Amino acid sequence: VGNSADFDSEVDSICPFCGVGCQVSLKVKDGKIKYVEGINGPANEGRLCVKGRFGFDYIHHPHRLTKPLIRRKDAPPKGLNVDPGNWQTHFREATWDEALDFAAGGMKKIGGAGVAGFGSAKCTNEEAYLFQKIIRQGFGHNNVDHCTRLCHASSVAALMENVGSGAVTATFNQIENADVAIVIGANPTENHPVAATFFKQFAKRGGKLIVMDPRGQALKRHASHMLQFRPGTDVSMLNAIMHVIVEEKLYDQQYIEAFTENWEIEKAHLKTFTPEKMSKICGIDAAVLRDVARTFAGANAAMIFWGMGISQHIHGTDNSRCLISLALMTGQIGRPGAGLHPLRGQNNVQGASDAGLIPMFLPDYQPVSDDGVRSAFTEVWQSSDFSDKKGLTVTEIMDAVHDGDIRSLYVLGENPAMSDPDVEHARAALAKLDHLVVQDIFLTETANFADVILPASAFAEKSGTVTNTNRQVQMGRPAVPPPGDAKEDWWIEVELAKRLGLGWTYTDPSEVFAEMKLNMSSLNNITWNRLESEGAVTYPSTSPTDPGQAIVFADGFPRQDGRARFTPASIIAPDDAPDEDYPMILTTGRQLEHWHTGSMTRRSYVLDGLEPEANCSLHPSTLRKLGVEPGAYIRLTTKRGSIELMAREDRAVSPDMVFLPFAYVEAAANILTNPAVDPYGKIPEFKFSAVKVEAATAP
């Protein structure tokens, strides 16, 4: 922490990494961010993790894109083959006019359903809204998606189906009013570190913290119960817990009668899921399952938090259905300290989804199939109708490229050449495209395949709102200008739309926000001016002075008759089960120091210094069996491919598992992952692949 002599100016903004949405003060000296402090935002109350505090220097990295680039006519064939320090053999610099004309011209030439878009949860709400509008208004269909498809799409599918809303029912800070909390399929100490500090304080003051995860983790030290269940057996374990609640009549009959439907069907469904039987599947003692059921059902106020350990399965929607049913049967929604909270990954994945950056919904989750909804939007957009059919998702778009149905792709801030499952399939699709427009701050792995690259802005270089996991809409403010000729993303979108003939005239993101409010009731009582002065407002906000509702659904649910629904879930085996050839289980995820595909954090001096090398974690007994020491190289092989990397010893990983972070291009985790998807959320099964592990030689 410095003092005012250490900086020329200070600007309040939002951390660009995870969905906690910590508010930060950016201290600027000589046109560069010198350091960052946490300030008193509603989610972080002054706290920051290592990424928020030390992970901002990527903004000033020499690899930043500063000029529009166009692929050279004599460039080598498209592939993952561009050296960011020596890109000139592949691309040439262009003016903005030339690059935008080239980008729009190519999209127009292919046109219609031949064009698709991947927007970004790294952008602001306004930029996400404009992106989906370009595809819908410009090309007449809904083939637009973003990384929510790889993250919480199955959670949203289950929440929409059963409680009528995809957002959290209570902020994570409500844990201070709870006496019991479940954290399942999430590792908040690494992935939502500031939220984890609130969870630890909850445990310290006597709250019962029930941690359920196939991997042991740091939160275990604070847990009253640690259930390290077998990977992929969530439904059996959760149904067994609910079986006990039914068997011992621990449910809240009054709540069930007042606020739910389908209870009798759920009750009957749970009959066969006895803890004794399910224990053999999930590996947790029947007595422990019974104890957890009694502890949760006996709580005055209880919350359920979950992460991608729940959502990234072919049964991700079923996993979430179980958690929703557990909360409903015990009446743990709509009160202080009670609620459902899927911990959002990216800093603006909630906002980008709210803004309609998804193929089945317009902003505020209004279905594209609804004629009235579409006409409300086309009236505001002053444009003709667009398709009433759900568009293609992230992975379906890549399949459509291979099939030759999609030939042009506009990618803003996403990195499918690293983030898609079975990533060689995605890379081959990117290479096959006739016209790839990439808008980003770095020459990412995806930009390697681009025909034109549009240099964009980092979070600290632009204005705009973002919405965190708590439904808090917050104001991001620019502290430094973009480098060279790089531009704010909204400006690039507007200029592109003008060239597509869409007649856009926005001159400031505040005008976009004002337009969003016309068809987004979630933003009622939230104005640009309010956000400028208050910094954050939680939706829903009931009046121009209401800071917003931390807890929703006290008096019923936004479904047809105001009732939430029980949807029974059955056991579905993982798609890629271990066998003789691939005997172990591979699960992928993030590390504290690195963010997603690493494009930002691997260019941060401190963060990359802490975790500089691709690595995976195995149990000590597994390393012994392989005959290798910690730090040695091993080879991981699945039915999709093979990678070699350093092995780390970790007792938290069970002997039949490998944990593999996905931030490292030199050993890209998604070369190995399975593209099979959940049928409802269309989310890939990143958390379970059969894998063979062998000793290898260090390069």
Among 15, 240, 323, 523, which residue interacts with ligand SF4 (rule: CB under 6 A)? Answer: 15
Stretch that binds ligand SF4, among 17-25, 419-427, 511-519, 644-652 (CB under 6 A): 17-25
Cis omega before residue 540 (within 30°)?
Answer: yes
Interface with ligand SF4, residue 636, by CB under 6 A: no
Among 7, 17, 58, 539, which residue interacts with ligand SF4 (rule: CB under 6 A)? Answer: 17
Beta carbon nearer to ligand SF4, 122 or 427: 122
Least Å from the CB of residue 198 to ligand SF4:
11
x-or-dash string of contact with ligand SF4, 236-255, rule CB under 6 A: --------------------
Q: Provide the token pair at 184.
A: 């399942």
Distance, CA of 206 to CA of 213 (rounded, Å): 21
Interface with ligand SF4, residue 343, by CB under 6 A: no
Least Å from the CB of residue 18 to ligand SF4:
3
Stretch that binds ligand SF4, among 18-26, 123-131, 257-265, 629-637 (CB under 6 A): 18-26
Beta carbon nearer to ligand SF4, 331 or 535: 535
Alpha helices in 356-470 (DSSP H): 371-381, 394-402, 416-419, 423-432
Beta carbon nearer to ligand SF4, 22 or 209: 22
Beta carbon nearer to ligand SF4, 347 or 673: 347
Beta carbon nearer to ligand SF4, 197 or 524: 197
Among 7, 13, 22, 362, which residue interacts with ligand SF4 (rule: CB under 6 A)? Answer: 22
Stretch that binds ligand SF4, among 44-52, 157-165, 275-283, 321-329 (CB under 6 A): 44-52
Q: Report the DSSP pairing between strands 115-118 and 408-412.
A: parallel
Among 7, 33, 42, 44, which residue interacts with ligand SF4 (rule: CB under 6 A)? Answer: 44
Least Å from the CB of residue 44 to ligand SF4:
6
- Gyration radius of the chain over CA positions: 24
Q: Report the DSSP pairing between strands 452-455 and 69-71.
A: antiparallel
- Hey, which bits of 179-266 come out as E strands? 180-184, 208-212, 225-227, 260-261
Interface with ligand SF4, residue 49, by CB under 6 A: yes
Interface with ligand SF4, residue 48, by CB under 6 A: yes
Tell which positions 52-81 bind ligand SF4, by CB under 6 A: 52
Interface with ligand SF4, residue 469, by CB under 6 A: no
Beta carbon nearer to ligand SF4, 160 or 663: 663
Interface with ligand SF4, residue 194, by CB under 6 A: yes
Question: Scanning the structure block, which residue is given the tokens 């939430």?
Answer: 564
Q: In terms of Cα–Cα distance, which of 523, 140, 155 is closest to 340?
A: 155
Among 7, 33, 39, 51, which residue interacts with ligand SF4 (rule: CB under 6 A)? Answer: 51
Q: Give the angle 52-58-60 at the CA atoms, nearest 5°.
A: 120
CA distances from 230 to 293, 314, 435, 570, 683 (A): 19, 16, 44, 17, 21
Least Å from the CB of residue 320 to ligand SF4:
22
Stretch that binds ligand SF4, among 14-22, 221-229, 297-305, 336-344 (CB under 6 A): 14-22
Beta carbon nearer to ligand SF4, 50 or 652: 50
Q: In terms of Cα–Cα distance, which of 131, 168, 341, 306 is closest to 234?
A: 306
Q: Are 402 and 429 in contact (CB under 8 A)?
A: yes
Distance, CA of 156 to CA of 602 (rounded, Å): 30
Least Å from the CB of residue 225 to ligand SF4:
25
Tally of helices (H runs) and strands (E runs) in the chain: 23, 30
Tell which positions 153-192 bind ligand SF4, by CB under 6 A: 192
Alpha carbon 257 to its chain's center: 35
Beta carbon nearer to ligand SF4, 104 or 441: 441
Residue sitting closest to ligand SF4 (CB): 52
Least Å from the CB of residue 190 to ligand SF4:
10
Distance, CA of 385 to CA of 372 (rounded, Å): 11
Beta carbon nearer to ligand SF4, 393 or 597: 597
Strand ordering across the sheet containing 32-38 = 9-14, 23-29, 32-38
Beta carbon nearer to ligand SF4, 172 or 688: 172
Question: Scanning the structure block, which residue is given the tokens 């502890």?
Answer: 295
First to last CA, the chain: 41
Distance, CA of 290 to CA of 292 (rounded, Å): 5
Cβ contacts of 5 within 8 Å, gap of 6 or more: none
Distance, CA of 355 to CA of 124 (rounded, Å): 10
Alpha helices in 472-508 (DSSP H): 489-499
Tell which positions 286-325 bind ligand SF4, by CB under 6 A: none
x-or-dash string of contact with ligand SF4, 545-584, rule CB under 6 A: ----------------------------------------
Least Å from the CB of residue 442 to ligand SF4:
19
Among 42, 106, 185, 193, which residue interacts with ligand SF4 (rule: CB under 6 A)? Answer: 193
Amino acid letter, 159: L
Distance, CA of 547 to CA of 525 (rounded, Å): 10
Interface with ligand SF4, residue 20, by CB under 6 A: yes
Q: Which residues of this chain interact with ligand SF4, rule CB under 6 A?
A: 15, 17-18, 20-22, 44, 48-49, 51-52, 192-194
